[in-house]
Amino acid sequence: MEPVFSTGWTGVDTAEEHIQVSDEFVEFSNGVYSDSLELASGPDKKKVGDEARSRGMAWACCGMRGWRQNMEDASLMLPKGYLSGDWRDSALFGVFDGHGGEQVARFVVRRLPQVLADIPGRDAETALREAYLRLDDMLRQPAVAAELRDMTLPGNEPQESAETCGTTAVCCLIQDNEMILSHVGDSRAVLCRQGQAVALTVDHKPELPEETDRIEAAGGFVQEGATAMGSGKEYRVNGGLNLSRALGDLRYKSDPKLKPSAQLVSAVPDTKRVPWQHDVDEFVLLASDGVWECVTNQQAVNFVRTRLPPPGSRKGLQPVLAELLDMCCATTPAQRGGLGCDNLTVVLVRFEVCLGSKSRARVFSRRCCRAGVRVFVHLTVLVWARAKA
């Protein structure tokens, strides 16, 4: 079985990816933001994705360009046994929402597995944090220009610099007894625990107090403005990027006197350990903000949970994700004030150990019930026979 990524490419040695794209050219005028996103004349609902099952888990990804001219999202799915070094017994899943071009998102998906493999496995949180920072440093190297150019999808404008190109990154590293989350940006991870949505990440937005404090301490400012379609307010770093943390976007990380954690836009991820409760944890959703703009955490969990086939079923997981993306995709750009017009990508990781045990319990219960009926019938017949005698 090949590891799966987000463009339809597969590969073990080069960790090629399943990849996709969000062109955010932002104009600022008189305090009102206008996203010149050059939406297509209609949504492209063609889906790209894959799914597989192994070692008590099943996983799937699905991506859709939607109303955007290009696909800048990317996703990564590496089951246990496909990471190298100290991480062979870990599974890694991720979603990456690019902006300013698809190149950095694709670069991160290609390079992350090897970068992580080169880091000792003593502490997963530290390792993921170090991997993000190494990737961000690699984007500064002149030798990477050719690689970024090669990351350009056919027909798109080549990009050789990460100055104005970047990506979010939400990753879930799954080990035997815990999940380790790391993220920068507003791609989000949500756990379904006994039907309840549990947020595993907090979106990195400029208006968050600790993010605003860092931006202002670095000499920047957070600008408030209206969204392109007037559906609400949004906040941008120095009137530009609507994220406060990202990989790439080097123009916001140009002060040599500041540490990575103190730059206008930081590449330092938030990390979190979540003990895996095998008996109640059902699945994890990782998705780009194109999804989370349209549904709440609980709505997404409910939608997926009520449509998933039974564990071990021949029915796949990907059709459920495709249905979710179709629901999120706007019929017209004005339908939801511009929401539902972004690229849409989601990764689902299903813990069949939990679901399988529940399924077995239900089967056992039904068998016991049937056995009880048989015993009752047998005893009734026996009593009736004795009474008749």
Distance of alpha carbon 209 from alpha carbon 224, whole angstroms: 14
Q: Can you give the pLDDT at residue 166?
A: 96
- What are residue 274's phi and psi, to 5 degrees? -125, 110
Other Cβ atoms less than 10 A from the Cβ of 141: the count is 9
| Torsion (CA) 67, 37, 20, 143 in degrees, nearest 10 | 170
The burial of 268, by beta-carbon neighbours within 10 Å (0-12 exposed, 13-18 middle, 19 or more buried), is given as: middle
Q: Can you give the pLDDT at residue 37?
A: 57
- Of 191, 308, 167, the C-alpha closest to 241 is 167
Considering the four listed CATH numbers 3.40.50.970, 3.40.50.10860, 3.40.640.10, 3.60.40.10, the one that applies to the domain covering 4-356 is 3.60.40.10
Structural contact between residues 9 and 76, judged by C-beta atoms closer than 8 angstroms: no
Q: Can you give the pLDDT at residue 230?
A: 55
- What are residue 253's phi and psi, to 5 degrees? -130, 40
The amino acid at residue 387 is A
CA–CA–CA angle 167, 168, 174 (5° rounding): 130
Q: Can you give the pLDDT at residue 28?
A: 24
Alpha-carbon distances of 237 from 125, 213, 231, 294, rounded to whole Å: 27, 12, 20, 24
Q: In sequence order, what are the residues at sequence separation of 6 or more whose Cβ sits closer than 8 angstroms to the Cβ of residue 153?
A: 7, 19, 21, 70, 71, 102
Which helix (H) or strand (E) segment is 52 a member of?
Answer: strand 44-54
Q: Can you give the pLDDT at residue 102?
A: 94
Report how far Cα 111 is from the mean position of its chain's Cα atoms: 17
Which residue numbers in the chain have pLDDT < 70?
1-37, 226-231, 354-389
Other Cβ atoms less than 10 A from the Cβ of 360: the count is 11
Q: Can you give the pLDDT at residue 216?
A: 98
Q: Can you give the pLDDT at residue 236?
A: 96
Other Cβ atoms less than 10 A from the Cβ of 195: the count is 12
Q: Can you give the pLDDT at residue 231?
A: 60
Structure tokens belonging to residue 238: 């120095």
Structural contact between residues 387 and 88, judged by C-beta atoms closer than 8 angstroms: no
What are the residue boundaries of the structural domains of the chain, listed by start? 4-356
